[in-house]
Structure 1
Amino acid sequence: MFLAATLAIAIFVTAYALIASEKIDRTKVALGGAALMLLFHITDAENAFFSEESGIEWNVIFLLLGMMVIVSVLRQTGVFEYLAIWAAKRARGKPYRLMVMLVVITAVASALLDNVTTVLLIAPVTFLVCERLNLKVAPYLIAEVMASNIGGTATLVGDPPNIIIAAPSRGDLSFNDFLIHLAPLVIVLIAVFCLMCRWLFRSAFTYDPALAEEIMTLEEREAITDRRLLVQCLLVLGVVVAAFVLHPVLHYEPSVVALLGAGLLVAATKVTTEQALEEVEWPTLVFFAGLFVMVGGLVETGVISKISQAAADATEGRLGLATMLLLWASAGLSAVVDNIPYVATMSPIVADLVQQNGGNDKAQVLWWALALGADLGGNATAVGASANVVVLGIAARNGTPISFWQFTKYGLVVTFVTVALATPYLWLRYL
């Protein structure tokens, strides 16, 4: 087992270094790493494809696939052009005001939908409005994906790790639990993040009065090319959003809801299958699959559980120390390992810690520490959260690639500030 664990670490670290260096396409690296995990029997087909603990997280893969299809159909209506012109006009063509508007919209939408769905919807708008105003699109996309990770922290359906934490076998938490305990902090974090954007992306705010004046003369309603299809899309999207919010009552997984919505939209409209699938980011989905298999190898060999258990043992039953250690360790590890498999691995240990600390309402702070650490820590690097990977894939596909380090140099700062603000919040409110 020691040899297998050592080999798993070597494969994962090498793959991560290659992804960070960007010398080899990240999808090739993820597939290669997954293949090596299987080749050396670190994991096997049974665990890689069917295990809930160490296999591919199919709920995430199919959630992404379903929402990508819905967005692809929605694009046919011209609604993204409409939203781009509307946002630019409301911001009066001023770059920083536009960024704040897009950040707030993204954060709110991420709390109601999920962060991946939100960035899939907002990214096309961002490309169009930045093209209209001759702005660099990368800073806006980076700001939006970070806002989506922060905003998604507020609710059960906002970030995939929250769904894992809320499961009956884990924290057994409701939609309202997340809203009451995390939403107040998220509002503060978004306000602080908007202020940070002024400094972080200051070089991107180039104002062109002529282009701004030209934007003000446009009529956004003219951008809508198919009103009937738009109504159909909005109805389906509304039902999908409602099903996400009502997850605790309906008990339909978000992935099932997304696939049902996508299937209904393709079946009920004149959009062809080819048109519906043309916007699907297949390399991104394959990258996730490979990444899940690699992380699964670390799970199978006990590497992640040993790290997590060591952190648990170090607290020696002290709730305050356990909370702070869990918050910061989760933020650090979620920066390196995608926060979904990390939370899936860590949640059983947190459940034990909650019971060791009395299992009462006060001990529930450990769940909030895990959620905040994992969700906010996902902003630290380009592969820390699902939304990050999706946005980088969209950017590359549209000819404006965002490098690993371009994202990470901003992400580290944002993660440190937001987690630092979460620290006194948890301490003062619960400890």
Structure 2
Amino acid sequence: MTVLAIVVFAVAYLLIATDRVPKAAAALGGAGIVLAAGVVGSDEAFYSHDTGIDWDVVFLLLGMMIIVGILRRTGVFEFTAIWAAKRAKGSPLRVMVLLVLLTATASAFLDNVTTVLLIAPVTLLVCDRLGISPVPFLIAEVFASNIGGTATLIGDPPNIIIGSRAGLTFNDFLVHLTPIVVVEVAVFALVLRRLFRGAFDADPRIAEVMTLDEREAIRDKRLLVKCGVVLALVFAGFIGHSVFHLDPSVVALLGAGVLVLVSGTRPRDYLAAVEWETLLFFAGLFIMIGALVHTGVISHLARLAADATGGNALLAAMLILVVSAVLSGFIDNIPYVATMSPLVVGLVADLPDPGEAQALWWALALGADFGGNLTAIGASANVVMLGVAARAGTPISFWEFTRKGAVVTLMTIALAAPYLWLRYFVLA
């Protein structure tokens, strides 16, 4: 059974990494095989906290997808992007900086895939009016999305998995990751001119941009107010997790339910915003990972990792940071984190200092989230952005993305390493 669990997972992982088949199909196919073969049973797959589907992750994503789907109908994202372009006076560099800052901020409170889907069409519109290529802007935005999404529990799907596995709250992510993310975003904004040399040389059609009226982008003001109130309550629930004793998944579902009721949105409209393929992908992936845990594969790997680091928490944190950045660049960071989380659980259990032990989780989050920028397939947001660019007739090649992504990943990891060292091992 152990060999079968490993082979099934390896084949599914390969299919996921190479995009030979849809990710959900690969994950569900692998899950079906381990269930049919009896590697795990229904109790382990659907009800066990250690080996089953992590329903907190699934329902948190479901709730936020519904909320964002309804919010999208208001036009507030288009309003924000047009407003930013006008405030930049049509300067390509200033437009890029503002869009990058907006994308990074939005990605901290929405998942980065959703942010990319919302900001990309507006970027195409603004670049068309300016008469400049949108490719550098789209690439910069997806980098910013992956960096900004690192700041919170809900900003990047790997964080949701880490939060659930480690018992970390929304506030934990705010306190521990937001400071370094703010620094990373600021540094990234400063290097944009050098990173995208030649992208700002065109003579933009500033007059056309200034004729855009951002107020016309708002399609439903009453719905926007309702969404704003519900979102404020949802984020208050996230932040007040320890006071209200409600898990983020419950808060997200309650917020989605309330917004559906007060908005009067029809089921076919808000259900159309749910990325069912993503949710099924998570379900299948969790079952395959559970099979590895159930057969003892994960615990064996954890023991090997512990032996390799000799119980040195700093060495373990740095190893996790660097390895996560590299592997997440070539393999989607969602399945990577789902695989690594049980390993980190084993490593943390052997460390006596709680602060140093928690640093391993932050190393995993920073490495996986920032490493997602390394290549075009490193994060789901990258794949989505490339698809948007291709449909718009401005395709972005794998190597064009990766050349820039390698620089950004190296920069962000180089800043993250001393942050981990100073905060958890020197100043703790």
Deviation at 1:385?
Answer: 5.0
Aligned to 1:11: 11
Q: Does the Cα contact within 8 Å between 1:34 and 1:290 map onto a contact in 2? A: yes
**CA shift at 1:216, angstroms?**
0.4
- Corresponding residue number in structure 1 for 2:179: 184
SS in 1 for 2:351: helix
| CA pair 129-55 structure 1, distance change in 2 beyond 3 A | same
Superposed displacement of residue 127, structure 1:
0.8
Matched with 1:88 is 85
Q: CA distance change for structure 1 residues 392 and 260 in 2, over 3 Å: closer, same or farther?
A: farther
Aligned-partner Cα distance in 2 for 1:353–1:248: 27
1: distance between equivalents of 2:385 and 2:245? 29
**Could you tell me which amino acid in structure 2 is paired with residue 154 of structure 1?**
A
Residue 316 of structure 2 corresponds to residue 319 of structure 1: no
Q: How far 1:140 moved relative to its partner?
A: 4.1
Q: Find the aligned partners of 2:277 and 2:396 in 1 and give their Cα distance.
A: 15
The CA distance in 2 between the partners of 1:59 and 1:393, in whole Å, is: 29
What's the secondary structure of 1:54's corresponding residue? coil
| CA pair 209-59 structure 1, distance change in 2 beyond 3 A | same
Matches within 5 A, 1:13-412: 13-19=13-19, 23-111=20-108, 113-114=109-110, 116=111, 119-121=113-115, 123-134=117-128, 139-156=136-153, 158-159=155-156, 161-162=158-159, 170=166, 178-202=173-197, 207=202, 209-210=204-205, 212-335=206-329, 336=331, 338=334, 339-342=336-339, 344-355=341-352, 359=353, 361=355, 364-380=358-374, 410-412=404-406
- The two structures, once aligned, show a CA RMSD in angstroms of 3.6
- Mapped to 2, the partners of 1:9 and 1:297 lie a distance apart of 9
8 Å CA contact 2:133, 2:199 repeated in 1: yes
Contact 2:376 2:383 in 1 (8 A): yes
Instruction: Please give the secondary structure, in 2, of the residue aligned with 1:232.
Output: helix
Structure 1 pair 402–162 and aligned structure 2 pair: CA distance change class (3 A): same
1:86-120 deviation digits (Å, cap 9, x = unpaired): 12212233333323222222333444x25x1x542
In the alignment, the residues of structure 2 paired with residue 141 and residue 32 of structure 1 have an alpha-carbon distance, to the nearest angstrom, of 33
TM-score by length of 1: 0.81
Measured against aligned partners, the alpha-carbon deviations of 1:98-155 in whole angstroms (never above 9, x if no partner) come to 23222222333444x25x1x54245323312322322665654543343233234334
Distance 1:102 1:43, change over 3 A: farther
- Whether contact under 8 Å (1:244, 1:257) holds in the other structure is yes
Q: Give the residue type in structure 1 aligned to 2:216.
A: E
Is the contact between residue 83 and residue 125 of structure 1 (CA under 8 Å) also seen in structure 2?
no
Please state how far the C-alpha of 1:189 moved relative to its aligned partner: 1.6
> 1:327 corresponds to which letter in structure 2?
L
Report deviation, 1:195: 4.0
Q: CA deviation at 1:426?
A: 2.6
TM-fit CA distance, 1:235 = 1.2
2:422 is equivalent to residue 425 of structure 1 = no
The answer to whether the Cα contact below 8 Å between 2:8 and 2:30 also exists between their aligned partners in 1 is no
Q: How far has the Cα of 1:269 moved from its partner?
A: 2.0
Give the C-alpha shift of residue 226 in structure 1.
Answer: 1.9
> Partner amino acid for 1:323?
A
Q: Quote the Cα distance in structure 1 between the aligned partners of 2:122 and 2:54.
A: 33
| Counterpart code for 2:11 | I
288-297 or 267-276, larger mean C-alpha shift: 288-297
What is the CA deviation profile of residues 320-362 of structure 1, one whole-angstrom value per residue up to 9, with x for unaligned ones? 322322322333454535254245313422322332xxx2545
C-alpha distance in 2, partners of 1:181/1:245? 14
SS of residue in 1 equivalent to 2:347: helix
Give the aligned residue type for 1:194.
A
Mean Cα deviation higher: 304-313 or 196-205? 196-205
Structure 1 unaligned spans of 5+: none
Aligned to 1:68, the other structure's residue is in SS state helix
Partner Cα distance (2:386, 2:57) in 1: 17
Structure 2 unaligned residues grouped into runs of 5+: none
Taking structure 2 as the reference length, the TM-score comes to 0.81
